[in-house]
Structure formats: structure tokens, C-alpha cells
Structure 1
Amino acid sequence: MAGGQDRPDAERPRDPETIDGTIIDDPSVRPPLVLGDRDFHSVTETICGWAENPAPKWWMPAFLISSAVSGIGTLMILYLIITGVGVWGLNSPVMWGWAIVNFVWWVGIGHAGTLISAILCIFKQKWRTSINRFAEAMTIFAVICAGTFPGIHVGRVWFAWMLFPIPNYNYIWPQFRSPLLWDVFAVGTYFTVSLLFWYMGMIPDLATLRDRALKRLHMKAAVGPIEIALGKIRAFGYGFFALGWRFSSRGWLNYEKAYILLAGLATPLVLSVHSVVSFDFAVSILPGWHTTIFPPYFVAGAIFSGFAMVLTLLIPARELYPGMKDFVTARTLENMCKIITLTGLIVGFAYAMEFFIAWYGGNVFESEAFIIRAIGPYWWAYAIMFSCNVLSPQVFWFKWARTTPWFIFIVTIFVNIGMWFERFVIVTTLSSDFLPGSWRYYAPTYVDVLTFVGSLGIFMTLFLLFMRFLPMLAISEVKNVLPQADPHGHHGSESGDGAGEKNGKEGAHG
């Protein structure tokens, strides 16, 4: 295009499969990141409306079901504390079971949020603006679920506080050479930085909701005979967490500095946290675990499963919330599918390298451990893992598969299942000890199963609350990718919101 400017939206070539103009194979044309002829005002109205308007009809049944499921998980944890870990399916030699499997799985899922928000932010990938808030929230809630399991699998839960180096009169300190303690520091640091990153990114949007709530102080909600001043509660709640944000130029300058600093701090955490989690296995001397391939293998698997979970949550929300398809475009889904394909290939390469390293090392016990994984008592788990993690993502080599939302959703479900079985296959290596006389088959009990299902309920409950009361997309960042926000590519705005709205960030409060 002359002058390097894009064609108007009406003149953009439309892809015959998606009809939304975002899948464009012409390298001279930049596909739009936001559809529907949006302006600053409509972006604010749509995103804030999801939090301000009455809940959709499906939200309350979904919330009640997820709350009931999380209650079952809570009851199972209480039952475990009262009776002890004997209610799990643990045996000798399988001293670890579903608790460690679930912990590693949830931590892995929590990695995509930091990757999307931090690494893609540093590399200035603008397509992340419509999904980063979703991914960050998923990270926080997944890490909360993950942190539950190290605390309850220690057996005597009332001594879990001793995992932290807290000064005490008995001078009893934790074992700093234990990977369990490394997990506490790694996951705790990751949760803290991710929470700050998520919260700081929401401050301008919370201020927008605060200002809009102040104009609706008269709003009330009736609960039986009681009237609740809903407008005042909203104004106070959003105002408290907005920390006095006023959309000033100085505030935006400090905000952007702090955001990029936190992005730089969070980036190495993506690599280090799951590497530390992999040390739970890699620093042991057990065949099949004692290998240096685990840290990069776990990191690739974490990004793989994390992106799959983001799509699993994002695609239904995209269908259920009006207007979200304008922000979460087919191009965004396609980019995420490409990353899943890449990380799936890395995971598949790691599976092959495990067998090669065992053969090349000449260790009979190591080779036998991997052979038993593939064709031993747990062959079915290995088959599910390989099929879901290696074979199913290969369909994304085809454009139709990458641009069909319902098909992407099905594949991501398979990926989530496969990554859980990957952790299960690793843990059940314990069942084949050095002496065949001590081999025992591991089978979970109903307490194991219901505790895991309960963690899914906790995750969905928290996520539904986030979808109901907080902005699901970053309003100011979405506005920054609109044509109106580009002073070199757009002349004027049709929003009619005044001069403040024509400046991308000054108009963030819409």
C-alpha cells in the first residue's frame, strides 16, 4: 500500500472460511485486531457492560454447579485431614500419587498467562491484547489450585507451616535441600509476581468501572424484602481497588514503566518455576526421573497445556458474551494454535529423546523403566498421553483446523487430558522398583478422584466470579490497537466522545 497505510476495513479481502477479514495471506495487508468498526466509546461500553449488566441466564446455574463441585473437594480435604493419607491409593513403592500429578498439572496450566502477558508484551505482539487478561486470571486461579496439593500431601497438614522458614523457639528449620521446599519458594514467587502483574494491569479498567458506577449510585438490587444499594457498593469496591487512578499523563507514564519492569521480572519466572518443579523428579536417583531433559521438557509442556486451557476457556466465552468475537478474532485463535503446534512438537521430541538417552546411556534400569511405561501395566495411560499430546495437535497444520473454533475447542480438551496423563505416567514410574518382588500396581481411590474434581470446581468458581465482576479484556490495551489510536494511520474519530477519547490512553475511562 502507498505510504505504508492499510486499506479501509470495507476494502479488506475477506477470508471465505472465516468471513471476518482477520485471516489474510497477503503480507502487504495488516489484518485488523478489532472488528465491527469499533471506536473508543463502543469498546468501553461493550467490555464494561459484561461486568455491569445483569448476569447471563447461564451464569448462575454454572456458578452453583461449580460451587457444589468445589464443596465436594473441600469435604474430601477435610476427610483427608481427619483420617490421614491412608484414604488415598498410595502404597509402597508408589508413595506419590494424584496429589503430585495434580500439582504439576495445575502449575503447568498457570504458565500461559505470564507467557502471553509478559513475553509477548516484551516482543510487542499486539494480538495478545484481547486475551492477556483471560490468561492472567487463569494463571492466578490455577496456581491457587496447585498450591493446595503440596500442603495436603505432607500427611500432617497442621505442620504444613513448617515448609516456610519461619523463626521459632525450637530452632527447627525446613530442609533446604528438599525439592518440596524449592516448590514453595518457586510457586510462591510466581504467584506473587503474577498477582501483581494481573492486578496492576486492571487498575485503569477498575478506575473506568469506578467512574461509571459513580454515575449510577441510585442503582439498587432487591433480595427478597431487602434492598441493596448496588451502585454504592460497586463504586466503593471498584474505587478502593483503583487506588485513586485519575488517567493523568504522569500516571500513564509511571504505569507503563512499572508494567514493563514487571514483564521483565516475570519472563524468567516462566522458565525457572516449572524447571524447579521438574526438580521434584530430576534430582532423584530413580530410573526414568534422573535426567537433565526434565527442565526444558516441563517448560515446553507447561506452555503447551497453558495455551490449550486458555483456548478451552476463551472459545465458550467468545460464543456466550455478545461482542467478544470483535475482539477475540480468528487471527488470534490461529496464532495460539500455531504456538500449541510448536510446543506439541517439542514435547513429542522430548518423548523420543527419553528413549534415546536411556538407550545411549547403556543403563539397563533406565531402558527398562521407559519400556515398562510404553508396554507395561500403564500402557493405556502412555497411549492416551502420546495420542493427545503428539498426534492431536498435528491437525493444526491445516488452516481449516486452526480457524474453526469448535474444532479447536475439542483439540484443546484432548491436550489438557494428555498433559494430565503425562504427569500420571511420570509418577507411576515408582510402581516398578529395582526389585521385582516389590512391584505394586497403583490405583486411585474415590478420595483421589473427588479431590481432583473439587480442584476443577474451585478453578471454575473463581473464574466465573472473575467473568462476572471484573473486565475480561484490557480496555486501554484494546483501544491502543484501534486505527483511531494510530496518529499516522487514522485521521479523526467517529466516536464523538470528545478530544479525551481521541487520545488512546487518555480516553481509556470512556
Structure 2
Amino acid sequence: MLWLLALLVSVGALGLGFIALAATLWEGIGMWGLNKTIGWAWDITNFVWWVGIGHAGTLISAVLLLFRQKWRMAINRAAEAMTIFAVICAAMFPIIHMGRPWLGAYWALPLPNTFGSLWVNFNSPLLWDVFAISTYFSVSLVFWYIALIPDFATIRDRATGLRKTIYSALAFGWDGAAKTWSRFETVSLILAGLATPLVLSVHTIVSFDFATSVIPGWHTTIFPPYFVAGAIFSGFAMVLTLMIVTRKVFKLEDYITIGHIELMNIVIIITGSIVGIAYITEFFIAWYSGVAAEQYAFVNRAFGPYWWAYWSMMTCNVISPQLFWIKKIRTSIVLTFILSLIVNIGMWFERFVIIVTSLHRDFLPSSWAMFYPTWADVGVYLFTFGLFFTLFFLFAKFFPVINMFEIKSIIKSSSTKESK
């Protein structure tokens, strides 16, 4: 019943958001609140935010697998699915931003064309995004699906009728033989090795959209590590949000334990502290540079017209995670859920502050402007939320949300230790 209610809410958001998306595609991006000075705003803010949300899946699945961290096993399946759905939502925004994507979306791809020897600009960070996001999505999708095959076979062996036919096709003829398991382990390790550099590369390349420009507030070398830490920070917060809901709806308290939640909160403390140091470092670099425009950009962030966004970002991202130092809060389901939502809100504000406050004050005062979102801006963002949660709830219902074959290995090893 709870699952059906949650699905209806997400489908409702998807439907309402689709109205804004259809209006945007029909009328063009003039429906948004962009102007001559602020050419990027909610669209790119949401793009970077969704890419960041997808970062935790790769970290939990690949990096922690290579380091043989067993606590990942209860949450890695959902984190991997979250990565795929978040990247789908992120990829929408650059496509929509083209205005008429059916006329020119393929121009972003390095493909030979019928219009002569015209190629994409390989020096553009926006093209690097295409390579990074498509690679990230492809590797994450294969890694996620390969890990599902043993569980599909388990369901196949217990299902009947149409369900058995569907899961038989999904299981790819898995027979559970020792040779099959050996190849499975080899492929998993190879994919984990391929996916691990993506944790660093994907959001580093996204940060180049800004860092390679000459706009004050963007032209800084700290962006790559800063963006990567922020992505892991927001990604883990979203995993916590989803896993706490999943834990309650599907009654998985015995599998997603307080210990798992506490370990994830510790990661949030570390990455939140790194993000806080990055904020302070940005101000120091601006002051030390002696460049008046750079100094003004950061003072304007904190005390200009968008001061409320900056201080919301600082409160949510720097101050709130420090509450997890208190064990009682770190192990509280309700407080963890609330703080994970606060972190996600703060990370959205971070992207908004970086993009909009750096653009709304140009070198010429005559070009200064303000950005005000329209109903279409909000509606398209709502559409991505509806899409993300609809896909996640359908996944949680029809696919094994807990990695069954890995959980069995933990139960077996723990029971062996108890018997001894």
C-alpha cells in the first residue's frame, strides 16, 4: 500500500512536469527565465546536481568492491539503480537546452555527417561532457545488470508462468556452475576497475564546463576535486534518503541496518568537511589573487542580491553534516533522513550559487541582471523528479533491491563464526 501511494505521487509529479516539458519543447527555451546575461541557470544547475546524485552508485559499487568492504552489499544494488536513473535525468537538460533537439541533438555527437567535413569542436568542455556522461552511463548500466543476473536466476527458479519466462530471459541462461561464477567474478572485477576512474573523471570533466572559462568565480583550479567531493557528498545523501524509505516500505530492517546508515553518515561527515574547506579555499584564492573582479565575485556571492542562496548553501552543506559527529544523531533514522534531505537541498543551492551569481554580474554594469525562474523552469525540474522516483519505485518492486547472492555470503560467514 505504501509502495502504491509513493508510486502515485511520483507519477503525479511526472504528469504535472510533463506539461512544462511539452510547453518548453513547443515554445522553446524562451519559456525559461533566462536573459541576455544569464544564459545558464536552472537547467545547468539541475544537470550538474543530477550528475552529482549519480556519483555515489559508482563509488559504493566499484571502489568499495575493490577494497572488499562488506557493508556495501546491502545498499549497492539500489545505489547502482539510482546512478542510472539520475544520469538519465541529467542527460535531459543539455538536450532540452538546445531548444529544438529533434533538429540538432546529434550535432553533439562526433559522427560523420552529410553536410560536408563538419565535426564537433573537440576542444569544447561541453563535448567532453558528452563523452563523460555516455561512458559513465554505459559502464554503470552494464555493471548494474551483470550483478543482477544471479538474482534473476534465483527468481526464475521459483517463479511460474509469465514471470518465469520474463526472468528466464533476463537471467541469460545462468546455471550457477563454478565456471560461471568464476567468469562472473572476473567480469565484476574488470568492470569495477573500469568504473573506479569514473568516480574522479566524470565530475572533474563536468567542472571543466566552468573552470576552463575566464568568468570570475569560475576560472579556478580547485573546481575538479571540489566538484568530485561535492558529488560524492550529495550522492551519499540521496542514497540515504532512498534507502531509509525503501527500508521502511519493504520492511528491510534486518538487511539495511543502523550500522550501514552510520557508516554512510561517516562518509557524509568526511566529504562535507572537504566541501567546507573548498568553500573557504575559494575565498582565500580570490583574496590572494589580487584580481578585483574575482574578489568582487565572491563578495557578491556572500553579500549580494543572492546572499540568501549562498548562506543556505553554507548552512546545509557545512554546518548540518557536522551534527553527525554526535553518535545519537548519526544512528537516528528520523534525523538522518531529515539531514540527508537538507544536504541535497544545500548541494542544489551550491550549483545555483556557482552558476547564477557568477553570471548575473557581468564586467559591464549595463549588463547586470537578475534571474527569476518561471513555472516552466520549476515544472521541468519537477518532471525529472517524477521520472527518477517512478523509475526507482518500479525497480524496487519488480527487481531485487537487495543483492541476494552477496548477502548470502555474509550470512554464511557470520553463521560459521558463531558456530565456532
- The TM-score, its normalising length taken from structure 1, stands at 0.80
1:272 to 201, 205, 208: 201
2:122 to 176, 179, 186: 176
2:204 touches 2:227 (CA, 8 Å); kept in 1?
Answer: yes
Mapped pair 1:462 → 2:391: yes
Which residue in 2 is equivalent to 1:98?
42
Which residue in 2 is equivalent to 1:211?
157
| Distance apart, 1:491 and its partner CA | 5.0
Amino acid at match of 1:430: L
Which residue in 1 is equivalent to 2:66?
122
| Distance apart, 1:438 and its partner CA | 1.0
1:111 touches 1:270 (CA, 8 Å); kept in 2?
Answer: yes
Q: 1:269 to 1:178 in 2, by over 3 A?
A: same
| Distance apart, 1:408 and its partner CA | 0.3
CA distance in 2, matches of 1:426, 1:268: 25
CA distance in 1, matches of 2:318, 2:417: 43
Corresponding residue SS for 2:90:
helix
| Distance apart, 1:287 and its partner CA | 0.3
Q: Which structure 2 residue ranges, 5 or more long, are not aligned?
A: none
1:72 touches 1:451 (CA, 8 Å); kept in 2?
Answer: no
Q: How many residues are paired up?
A: 417
Provide, for residues 28-84 of structure 1, a one-character-per-residue CA deviation record: whole Å limited to 9, x for no partner. Answer: xxxxxxxxxxxxxxxxxxxxxxxxxxxxx1222321221121122223222112111
CA distance in 2, matches of 1:410, 1:206: 34
Provide, for residues 290-339 of structure 1, a one-character-per-residue CA deviation record: whole Å limited to 9, x for no partner. Answer: 001000000000000000000001112212222x1111111111100000
Amino acid at match of 1:65: V
1:89 to 28, 33, 53: 33
Mapped pair 1:70 → 2:14: yes
Mapped pair 1:149 → 2:78: no
Mapped pair 1:192 → 2:120: no
CA distance in 1, matches of 2:9, 2:74: 28
Provide, for residues 318-361 of structure 1, a one-character-per-residue CA deviation record: whole Å limited to 9, x for no partner. Answer: 12222x11111111111000000000000000000000001111
Which residue in 2 is equivalent to 1:224?
none
Which residue in 1 is equivalent to 2:53?
109
| Distance apart, 1:487 and its partner CA | 9.2
Name the stretch that deviates more: 138-147 or 73-82: 73-82
Amino acid at match of 1:129: M
Which residue in 1 is equivalent to 2:316?
388
2:361 to 429, 432, 437: 432
| Distance apart, 1:490 and its partner CA | 5.6
Corresponding residue SS for 1:326:
coil
Provide, for residues 206-256 of structure 1, a one-character-per-residue CA deviation record: whole Å limited to 9, x for no partner. Answer: 01111111xxx3xxxxxxxxxxxxxx2211111111100011100000000
CA distance in 2, matches of 1:468, 1:281: 39
| Distance apart, 1:437 and its partner CA | 1.6
Corresponding residue SS for 1:304:
helix
Mapped pair 1:253 → 2:182: yes
CA distance in 2, matches of 1:235, 1:311: 33
1:411 to 339, 343, 347: 339
Which residue in 2 is equivalent to 1:489?
417
1:105 touches 1:419 (CA, 8 Å); kept in 2?
Answer: yes
Corresponding residue SS for 1:489:
helix
Provide, for residues 395-418 of structure 1, a one-character-per-residue CA deviation record: whole Å limited to 9, x for no partner. Answer: 000100110010000000000000
Amino acid at match of 2:132: A
Which residue in 1 is equivalent to 2:245?
316
- For the pair shown, the structure with the greater C-alpha radius of gyration is 1
CA distance in 1, matches of 2:415, 2:270: 36
1:300 touches 1:346 (CA, 8 Å); kept in 2?
Answer: yes
Q: 1:165 to 1:361 in 2, by over 3 A?
A: same
Which residue in 2 is equivalent to 1:10?
none
Amino acid at match of 2:62: A
2:20 touches 2:375 (CA, 8 Å); kept in 1?
Answer: no
- The TM-score, its normalising length taken from structure 2, stands at 0.97
Which residue in 2 is equivalent to 1:240?
169
| Distance apart, 1:384 and its partner CA | 0.5
Mapped pair 1:60 → 2:4: yes
Which residue in 2 is equivalent to 1:443?
372
Which residue in 2 is equivalent to 1:325?
253
Amino acid at match of 1:433: D
CA distance in 2, matches of 1:61, 1:139: 23
Which residue in 1 is equivalent to 2:109?
164
Which residue in 1 is equivalent to 2:231?
302
CA distance in 1, matches of 2:360, 2:215: 11
Which residue in 2 is equivalent to 1:35?
none
Structure having the higher helix fraction is: 2
CA distance in 2, matches of 1:309, 1:414: 10
Which residue in 1 is equivalent to 2:289?
361
